[in-house]
C-alpha cells in the first residue's frame, strides 16, 4: 500500500496516517505540501500510488480546484476527498466532480476511512493491470526503442548524438523522473566510446549521497539499450531562476550549497569540469542540485575518456588552466563556481567576447571585474574563486563554503531584499 496525501495540516496528516498505519503497518504514506510545492506536474497520474487523499483547503489553495484537474487526467489514481463535513458544500461538490470517495473528519469514522482506502486500492490495482495489457501502455513504455515496463513516457525532452532524454512517470518511485537512453553500441575494437561515457556518468555519481547532487535511481539495459533514471526538476535550472532576479543573500546561499556539493563529489574523486547555470537545477523546496556528469572525470576509475590536452566544457565558465588544456584539479571547478556567483550577483558574465578563444584569453589574462557598489560585499569571494592561479583559490569546496558563510553572516538585514 502506498498513499499520496495532499495536505498542509500536520495534525490531520498524522491522524489519518496513524489510522491507516494501524490497519496496514507497512503502508508508505507520502506527504505532498500543496502550498510549498505548488500544483502536481502535468502528466503525473499517481500510478505508483494505491490512492490519493486530497484535503479540502489550505492557506492560499482550494482542494476542489485540484480535484477538478486531477480527475480530468485519464488514468489518474482514485482520489479520496477529505473534508470537514461530508454533507457540506465542499463534500457534495466533490462527489459531483468525480471524487472516488468523500471522507469527513468532523465525525471521524475509522472504518469508513479504511473501507474507502481498501476499495480505492482495489480499483487502482485493476485499472493498472488493464492498462498494462493495452496498446496504449505498449506505446507509452517505448523509449527510443527500449521497452521499459516500469515507466510511462510523458514527453521526449531532447535528442542528442549519443542519447535521448525523456520525462516519465515511475510506478516504483511514485514520481516523475528523467530517463536518459542510449543504444548499447559495440565496435570491433570493443565498447563504443559514447557508451563508455554513458556508463561512466552512472558510475561516477551512483555512490554520491548529498542533498545538492542529483539523485540517480537506476541503471539498466534492455532491448540493446542502456538507460539511466534520475531525479526530475520541475522548477528548471538556475539560469531560469537567475532571470527572475536574486537577492544578494540568495546568490550566496546558492553558491554555498554548490560549494558543498563540489566538496562531496571531489571527496569521491570526481571533477565535474562543466559547472554552469544550466547544470544546476532547482527542487520544489528551492534547494539546488548539481547535475550532468557527462564530462566529469573520476580519478578512481581506470577508464580515461578524454585525452590529455583536449578541451571539454563551456568557455564562459572555464578556468584558465582548463581553457588552455592544462592539468586541472578541484580548484578548476571552484573557478567555475566563481563565474556563476559573479553572474548571479552582477547579472552578466565576468567575461564576454566575439569567439570562444577570446573568452578563454580573458579568463587567463583580463583583470577580475568589479561588482556593483551595492553588492561589493561579495567581491572578496569572487576574487578568491576567480584567481588566475589555482594556488590562489580556496583549496576545497568546504573552504569556499566557509568564505561564503563569512559574507553571509556580515550581511545586514536589508540584504534580504537587496
Give the catalytic positions in this structure: 274
Cα separation, 105 vs 283, whole angstroms: 32
Q: What 8-state DSSP symbol labels residue 48?
A: T
Residue 82 and residue 131 in contact, taking contact as beta carbons nearer than 8 Å: no
Which secondary-structure segment (H or E) carries 221? strand 216-222
Q: Does residue 290 contact residue 265 with C-beta atoms inside 8 Å?
A: yes
- Report CA-CA distances (Å) from 247 to 108, 181, 216, 235, 349: 46, 38, 31, 18, 17
Angle at 201 between CA 272 and CA 327, to 5 degrees: 35
Say if residues 310 and 323 touch (Cβ distance below 8 Å). no
Strands 270-271 and 225-231, how do they pair?
unpaired
First to last CA, the chain: 48
Q: Are the C-beta atoms of residues 318 and 363 closer than 8 Å to each other? A: yes
- Spatial neighbors of 181 by CB under 8 A, at least 6 apart, are 143, 144, 146, 163, 164, 165, 166, 225, 226, 227
Nearest in space to 371 (alpha carbons), one of 386, 358, 356, 357: 386
How far apart, in whole angstroms, are the C-alpha atoms of residue 296 and residue 202? 11
- CA 408, CA 327: separation in Å to the nearest integer? 33
Amino acid at each position: 500500500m502506498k498513499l499520496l496525501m495532499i495536505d498542509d495540516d500536520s495534525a490531520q496528516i498524522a491522524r489519518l496516517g496513524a489510522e491507516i498505519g494501524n490497519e496496514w503497518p507497512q503502508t508508505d504514506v507520502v506527504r505532498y505540501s500543496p502550498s510549498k510545492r505548488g500544483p502536481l506536474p502535468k502528466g503525473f497520474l499517481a500510478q505508483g500510488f494505491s490512492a490519493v487523499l486530497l484535503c479540502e483547503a489550505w492557506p492560499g489553495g482550494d482542494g476542489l480546484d485540484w480535484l477538478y484537474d486531477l480527475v480530468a487526467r485519464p488514468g489518474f489514481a482514485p482520489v479520496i476527498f477529505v473534508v470537514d463535513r461530508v454533507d457540506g458544500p465542499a463534500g457534495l461538490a466533490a462527489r459531483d466532480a468525480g471524487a472516488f470517495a468523500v471522507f469527513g473528519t468532523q465525525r471521524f469514522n475509522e472504518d469508513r476511512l479504511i473501507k474507502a482506502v481498501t476499495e480505492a486500492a482495489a480499483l487502482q490495482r485493476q485499472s493498472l493491470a488493464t492498462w498494462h495489457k493495452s496498446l496504449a501502455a505498449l506505446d507509452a513504455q517505448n523509449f527510443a526503442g527500449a521497452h521499459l515496463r516500469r515507466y510511462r513516457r510523458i514527453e521526449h525532452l531532447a535528442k542528442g548524438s549519443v542519447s535521448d532524454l525523456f520525462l516519465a512517470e515511475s510506478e516504483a518511485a511514485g514520481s516523475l523522473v528523467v530517463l536518459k537512453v542510449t543504444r548499447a553500441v559495440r565496435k570491433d575494437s570493443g565498447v563504443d566510446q559514447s557508451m563508455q561515457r554513458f556508463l561512466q556518468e552512472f558510475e561516477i555519481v551512483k555512490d554520491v549521497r548529498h542533498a545538492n547532487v542529483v539523485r540517480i535511481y537506476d541503471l539498466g539495459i534492455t532491448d540493446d539499450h542502456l538507460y539511466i533514471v534520475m531525479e526530475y526538476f520541475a522548477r528548471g535550472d538556475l539560469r531560469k531562476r537567475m532571470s527572475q532576479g536574486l537577492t544578494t543573500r540568495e546568490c550566496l546561499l546558492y553558491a554555498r550549497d554548490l560549494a558543498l556539493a563540489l566538496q562531496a563529489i571531489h571527496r569521491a574523486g570526481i571533477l565535474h569540469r562543466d559547472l554552469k547555470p544550466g547544470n544546476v537545477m532547482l527542487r520544489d523546496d528551492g534547494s539546488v542540485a548539481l547535475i550532468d556528469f557527462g564530462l566529469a572525470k573520476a580519478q578512481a576509475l581506470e577508464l580515461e575518456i578524454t585525452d590529455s590536452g583536449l578541451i571539454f566544457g563551456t568557455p564562459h565558465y572555464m578556468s584558465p588552466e582548463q581553457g588552455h588544456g592544462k592539468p586541472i584539479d578541484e580548484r578548476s571547478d571552484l573557478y567555475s563556481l566563481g563565474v556563476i556567483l559573479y553572474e548571479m550577483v552582477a547579472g552578466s558574465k565576468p567575461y564576454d567576447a566575439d569567439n570562444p578563444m577570446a573568452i578563454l584569453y580573458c579568463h587567463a589574462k583580463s583583470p577580475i571585474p568589479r561588482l556593483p557598489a551595492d553588492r561589493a560585499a561579495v567581491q572578496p569571494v569572487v576574487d578568491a574563486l576567480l584567481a588566475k592561479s589555482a594556488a590562489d583559490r580556496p583549496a576545497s569546496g568546504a573552504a569556499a563554503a566557509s568564505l561564503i558563510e563569512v559574507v553571509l553572516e556580515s550581511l545586514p538585514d536589508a540584504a534580504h531584499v537587496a
